[in-house]
Amino acid sequence: MTATHDQIPEAALAWHRAGKGAALATVIETWGSAPRQSGSQLAISGEGEMVGSVSGGCVEGAVITEALDALQDRKSRVLTFGVSDETAFAAGLACGGTIRVLVEPVGEGAEALPETLLAALVEARATPRAAAIVTIPATWTRHLLTPGEDPAADARFKSDRSGMEEDGRFIAIHNPPLRLIVIGAVHIAQPLLAIARTCGYAPTLIDPRAAFGSQARFPGETILDDWPDEALAALKPDARTAIVTLTHDPKLDDPAIRFALASPAFYLGCLGSTRTHAKRVDRLTEAGFTPDQIAKIHAPVGLDIGARTPAEIAVSIMAQITETLRK
């Protein structure tokens, strides 16, 4: 159920092993209003297939051409695209700016991205565990890093931001996916899980009620039928986890909320009206939670965009999660 656009190194490795040939293009630096951040990737096969993106328009065309050339000459290269505001849109840069893109053929060649290194990255991503590929364009040397091995990389793991270092190294961060844990297999959860996955999250649904949390209603989803606090304890929410409660039932929501408030999760949102939340606050206060702790709850959940349908409410929830994470 992982979104295809998240499987870019995996696609490149599969194409290479299938004998099609593959190249990886990675944004290594941006200035101005570039639409894709450093670390964004595009995989290109020797047959012209592609997954991912490095901009929003015609830069892809130029990058694909260079990638196909790289598959022939087996040489990596760094491309620079810079445009003015007047011509930005035609080149895929929203409001003018500059991007530098690293293009690497996979496999043989002194300057190429070794298959063994790409395979090690794909294995780490499948675990999943954090990993980074460090590339020095001046010498075309590369190696894999994990957290705790390099202070500069550790800072980038923490901020989830790839980029160039002053010493000329490009550190491409591959953190495990952000996680969304939803309590309550209600109608809103159906579009919410789909939207979350499109945004790069790995979703998990918790509901001990078998009639609600069924594969028939949520085909292909990860569903846990344990009591919410027990399921959360097993999942171990971290600072890359968002938690949303949707059941309206205090017997199910409250244990999850109490656990979430004591966890490092970066977001906790709870469905319910203002009156429902006031009662929730009373129960949490009686349970010993402080006003500062309770204030971490986003309730009623979601941005106030006038949402009415389950899909619209799901959009508002995902928007608020994004706002909390990015701002």
State pLDDT tens for residues 295-304: 999 999 999 9
109, 75 contact by CB (below 8 A)? yes
pLDDT digits over 152-172, tens only? 999 999 889 999 999 999 999
**What is the pLDDT confidence band of residue 77, given thresholds at 50, 70 and 90?**
very high
The pLDDT of residue 37 is 86
DSSP state of 91: G
Confidence (pTM): 0.78
Distance CA 23, CA 68 (A): 8
d(CA 94, CA 85): 8
pLDDT value of residue 282:
96
| Angle formed at CA 25 by CA 95 and CA 149, multiple of 5 degrees | 105
Domain residues of the chain, as ranges? Answer: 4-174, 178-326
Considering the four listed CATH numbers 3.40.50.300, 3.40.50.720, 3.30.365.10, 3.40.50.1220, the one that applies to the domain covering 178-326 is 3.40.50.720
Q: Which long-range contacts (CB under 8 A, 24 or more apart) does 40-49 make?
A: 41/8, 41/9, 42/8, 43/8, 43/9, 43/11, 43/12, 43/15, 44/68, 45/11, 45/15, 45/20, 45/21, 46/15, 46/20, 46/21, 46/22, 46/71, 47/20, 47/21, 49/11, 49/15, 49/20
The Cα-based distances of 53 to 40, 70, 90, 176 in angstroms read 7, 18, 16, 19
